[in-house]
Structure 1
Amino acid sequence: MKVAVVGCTHAGTAAIMNTVKLYPQAEITVYEKNDNVSFLSCGIALYVGGVVKDPHGLFYSSPEQLESLGVNMKMQHEVSSIDTDQKTLSAKNLQTDEETTDTFDKLIVTTGSWPIMPRIEGSSLNNIVLCKNYAHSLHIIERAKSARHITVVGAGYIGIELVEAFEMSGKKVTLIDSSERILNKYLDEEFTAQIEKDFTDKGVQLALGQTVTSFSGNDSGSVKTVVTTAGTYETDLVILCIGFRPNTGLLKGQVDMLPNGAIIVDEYMQTSKKDVFAAGDSCAVLFNPTGKHAYIPLATNAVRMGTLTARNLVAPTTKYLGTQGTSGIKIFDFNIASTGLTELAAADAGIIAESVMIEDSYRPDFMPDNEDVKLKVVFEKDSRRVIGAQVMSKADLTQSINTLSVCIQNKMTVEDLGFVDFFFQPHYNKPWNLLNQAGLHAMQ
């Protein structure tokens, strides 16, 4: 069996390593246009902020490791075309410009995503950079050394983490986003208001509800100002973190996709074309809170899907359970996590939802020290099933969101949540666990 893998970050690496284990006789060839594999881009802000000293720790595999398993690694090879009917692909060696053609019995497409680069006047100026891969992280660190004022465009997870890292390293920082709130896809206003206050208290300039319209440069060709729909901001460095789009042009018109180009796969990771599988940020995922396919690029989704691709490569064996889009972030002193739909996202999805908010200390008052916690659980009004949750505290209570992710996946109701069996120990919680409290309050 000849297996061709296109792309080798999270999903690709997981698919390759599991394919090697499950099918030791398979001939596996990997095409990767970069010179590295398996880079954890979620660690870029930690590297930029100096928390991670050695960037090599952000890789959990290497071409050499995969080659030692018998995998034919075609590094710095860019696939230029794929014919899924004839089961052929063409690739170019980026070092020699040599073009090659190959055949396959099974194709695994794990081409990932790429940052959105808007067509804005002046976007080709120096010191306007993206934030996605290892090369980007090195570029950002080098440019940041001489920058006094850094502007981050995009208030999602990556943008927020970079803002924190730059503020803590003594830089003047401006954060621009077209939405009225930061992290609006993950958190409702009760949570984002606190984070925004922390940023402004530390001197971060928030330019929210504004869209970048142009960049202007200085005499040396580097960016000097960012112009938005509401103002002009001087800067030395701009980092674009606007979002990602699936990198799926190679299969356009050959397999079913969402309007944004995300490949639709079935519960066994197979596309609409036989023997063509896909996983990771190039794909849409089954989003359990809505029951529909959605584009949710997360490393956790990618490694699961890559592993399932290998298990289902020869025959449908293990089903994908779907995702809740569960994620977490630490900003300054706060530990924050969310899963499923926010109250606003539920409304946008046409779901009539209600919510319950718990604000309490996380353990008994007789304990010598304590922290407040804020938990919000969102549930569908008619069915009462849990469809989302968010938590924030200076204590690390983020694992409660993993528990609620399981609740959503299993279609549990808030009544179920009220009486789930959780342990009590004063070091960690109260006799009525925080999640129990949310369920009980929702029943009142």
Structure 2
Amino acid sequence: MSTKVPMRIVIVGGVAGGMSAATRVRRLDETASITVFEKGPYVSYANCGIPYALGGVITNDAALTLQSPQGFKDRFNVDVHENMEVLAVHREDRVLDVCAKGSDAIQQFPYDKLILSQGAEPFRPPIRGIDLPNVFTLQTIPDLEKIRQYQAKHGCSRVAIIGGGFIGLEAADALHGLGLQVSIVEAAPHVFPPLDADMAERLHTEIRRNNVNLILNAKIQKIKTNGVVLAEGPPVLADIVLMVVGVRARTQLAEKAGLKVGKTGVSVNSYMQTSDPDIYAVGDMIESEHRIAGRALELALAGPANRQGRLAADNIFSRHMAYRGNVGTSVCKVFDITVASVGLSVRALRQLGYDPLWITVHPPDHAGYYPGSHAMTLKVAFEKKTGRILGAQVVGIESVDKRIDVLATAMQAGMTMFDLEHLELAYAPPYGSAKDPVNMAGFVGSNLLRGDVRILHVEDLKLGADNNSQIVDVRSPAEFSRGHIPSAVNLNLNTLRDNIESLDRKRRVIVHCQVGYRGYLAYRILSQMGFDVVNLDGGYKSIIDGGFTALQTTDEKL
């Protein structure tokens, strides 16, 4: 009877990717020796839930910890060591130097295969006062505990959140729910970087509607115990400052070991192998290929990290499972609305050299005749010649996650705007429409690709600078009276045919309605009658929601 020599697999990092790898290894090989080293005091915890625990939405911190070291030992026969830091990797000997927290004694552990899953660490910019005791990051359970202890001790009532990304917005929502006075200080022109500015404007409106002090284009001079001093404008008063301006991949151990490291993380191939074929790396510490960017981008986030951990385990056992790359799917709750994105924004696509087409639609989240329906906004970018989907952004109240998941699946499958026309999606009045918002985006995009319509984007509408154009608002007179584009004339769609001769055939016609559909109908009428005509993408609602105040005659939100 032959005796199998157990494979020694060591994993550095005990959260998403690391524990997915550990449990997958066990399912593939019952004899393997599996050891996990975690620098912190917790393993297998849901760090994405920490902002909600801070705000009291999650009332039991224990719910964030999905499994304990003893639980892993009992169920998977995995040896998990908390508060143990790996200091060095000796690749030639396949040995690790490991040190327990609070000890100077170095222990050595051998490995046959090594998986690095160390994640990313909060970025702390070089700002005066950043090391004050009232300045915190918000990434781990110990961070959560420190903030609570400080708040309880000092009776804090005001918080300044530095950074308007995922964690900053989630923390603002959660802390506002506790009754704290919240300020968001963002260096960029808008929050939530994956969005274009017009889509982010609706988030700004929602944030301000909830009496959160939102400061954009902010440059911080220094942080004090009572707040944040800006280069311009009054200081932001705060008892607690949360520094959530992004993260950086933890690459120090890999660099020290001589592994190849790129600009934003450890370099790996499609099988999650580093430059050393016996060492794998997964999660936020690596450069993950972005399928649209065509190059490695940082930060895979929790979903891809878990899948990468599984793939690393598969490939250790020669299953040759290649990672297909990220499309950057994300979703975030911002008070009473939800924002989601996949792929790249129009701005990011242009920066990468793309010349994309894009369309904007405002369909209801479910059948309009069923109670509780709300308009959502979808912006989808795609290639000019092929219609391949390059990115999508969705903002709404309900079912935003459903639509972004469909679009993300379509992107992973390499689908086009033409394919969106044909998707058969679940329909019942409480949940959707016979023409789902994703279908609607496909219809509008395909019309553009086929040449059935030409569009003009709101940001390209230049009042007073284009004397060769005439703007025709085809909404009802009542809608027109509540707000319209300066210099627009109102020709109701239902009477447009009777008033054709009032238009100057020598000048281009820019038609629009509230959301785009009636404008499209007007376009079809006028184009077939020989007019040079374009339809305003997304209609008047895109002007209002996108913050284009120069194009509005009122501030009324329609």
CA contact (8 A) 1:158 1:241 kept: yes
Shift, 1:430, TM fit: 2.1
Q: Deviations over 1:322-367 (max 9, x none)?
A: 1111111122221222111111111122211121111122333332
CA contact (8 A) 2:417 2:442 kept: yes
- Paired residues for 1:56-71 under 5 Å: 56-68=62-74, 69-71=76-78
Shift, 1:390, TM fit: 1.5
Residue type of the alignment partner of 1:225: G
Match among 24, 42, 49 for residue 43 of structure 1: 49
Question: 2:188, 2:199 → 1: CA distance?
Answer: 15
Shift, 1:284, TM fit: 1.3
User: Does 1:28 find its partner at 2:31?
Assistant: no
For residue 81 of structure 1, what is the aligned residue in structure 2? 88
CA contact (8 A) 1:289 1:408 kept: no
CA contact (8 A) 1:296 1:325 kept: no
CA contact (8 A) 2:382 2:390 kept: yes
Task: Tell me the SS of whatever aligns to 1:66.
Answer: helix
User: Does 1:256 find its partner at 2:263?
Assistant: no
For residue 162 of structure 1, what is the aligned residue in structure 2? 171
TM-score (norm 1): 0.94
Shift, 1:312, TM fit: 1.0
For residue 376 of structure 2, what is the aligned residue in structure 1? 373
User: Does 1:207 find its partner at 2:207?
Assistant: no
Shift, 1:293, TM fit: 1.2
For residue 219 of structure 1, what is the aligned residue in structure 2? none
For residue 198 of structure 2, what is the aligned residue in structure 1? 190
Task: Tell me the SS of whatever aligns to 1:273.
Answer: coil
Q: Deviations over 1:235-287 (max 9, x none)?
A: 21101001110111011162222213x11211111112111001111111111
Q: Deviations over 1:145-195 (max 9, x none)?
A: 4112110001101011111112221111111111010002x2222332122
Task: Tell me the SS of whatever aligns to 1:443.
Answer: helix
Shift, 1:316, TM fit: 4.1
Task: Tell me the SS of whatever aligns to 2:307.
Answer: helix
User: Does 1:142 find its partner at 2:144?
Assistant: no
Shift, 1:424, TM fit: 3.4
Match among 417, 431, 442 for residue 439 of structure 1: 442
User: Does 1:265 find its partner at 2:274?
Assistant: no
Shift, 1:17, TM fit: 0.8
For residue 139 of structure 2, what is the aligned residue in structure 1? 132
Question: 2:95, 2:52 → 1: CA distance?
Answer: 41
More helix by share: 2
Task: Tell me the SS of whatever aligns to 1:226.
Answer: strand
Residue type of the alignment partner of 1:333: D
CA contact (8 A) 1:11 1:279 kept: yes
More strand by share: 1
Question: 2:149, 2:445 → 1: CA distance?
Answer: 51
TM-score (norm 2): 0.76
CA distance change for structure 1 residues 367 and 225 in 2, over 3 Å: closer, same or farther? closer
CA distance change for structure 1 residues 39 and 389 in 2, over 3 Å: closer, same or farther? same
- Which range moved further: 186-195 or 153-162? 186-195
Task: Tell me the SS of whatever aligns to 1:378.
Answer: strand
Match among 9, 14, 39 for residue 3 of structure 1: 9
- Which range moved further: 199-208 or 158-167? 199-208
For residue 227 of structure 1, what is the aligned residue in structure 2? 229
For residue 121 of structure 1, what is the aligned residue in structure 2? 128
CA contact (8 A) 2:160 2:227 kept: no
For residue 346 of structure 1, what is the aligned residue in structure 2? 349
Match among 286, 307, 310 for residue 304 of structure 1: 307
Task: Tell me the SS of whatever aligns to 1:108.
Answer: strand
- Which range moved further: 368-377 or 51-60? 368-377
Shift, 1:299, TM fit: 0.6
Q: Count how many residue pairs are aligned between Structure 1 and Structure 2.
A: 436
For residue 335 of structure 1, what is the aligned residue in structure 2? 338
For residue 424 of structure 1, what is the aligned residue in structure 2? 427
CA distance change for structure 1 residues 430 and 227 in 2, over 3 Å: closer, same or farther? same
For residue 542 of structure 2, what is the aligned residue in structure 1? none
Question: 2:371, 2:205 → 1: CA distance?
Answer: 28
Residue type of the alignment partner of 1:290: A
Shift, 1:121, TM fit: 1.4
Question: 2:368, 2:212 → 1: CA distance?
Answer: 35
Residue type of the alignment partner of 1:227: V
Question: 1:369, 1:30 → 2: CA distance?
Answer: 49
Residue type of the alignment partner of 2:96: L
CA contact (8 A) 1:268 1:316 kept: no
- Which range moved further: 148-157 or 367-376? 367-376
- Which range moved further: 94-103 or 433-442? 94-103
Task: Tell me the SS of whatever aligns to 1:398.
Answer: helix
Residue type of the alignment partner of 1:175: I
CA contact (8 A) 2:163 2:185 kept: yes
CA contact (8 A) 2:57 2:174 kept: no
Shift, 1:143, TM fit: 2.6
How many percent of aligned residue pairs carry the same amino acid? Answer: 27
CA distance change for structure 1 residues 423 and 203 in 2, over 3 Å: closer, same or farther? closer
For residue 104 of structure 1, what is the aligned residue in structure 2? 111
User: Does 1:244 find its partner at 2:247?
Assistant: yes
Question: 2:289, 2:142 → 1: CA distance?
Answer: 32
For residue 452 of structure 2, what is the aligned residue in structure 1? none
CA contact (8 A) 2:162 2:185 kept: yes
CA contact (8 A) 1:418 1:440 kept: yes
CA contact (8 A) 2:123 2:245 kept: yes
CA contact (8 A) 1:106 1:313 kept: yes
Question: 1:226, 1:116 → 2: CA distance?
Answer: 18
Question: 1:297, 1:267 → 2: CA distance?
Answer: 14
Question: 1:74, 1:363 → 2: CA distance?
Answer: 49
Match among 357, 364, 382 for residue 360 of structure 2: 357
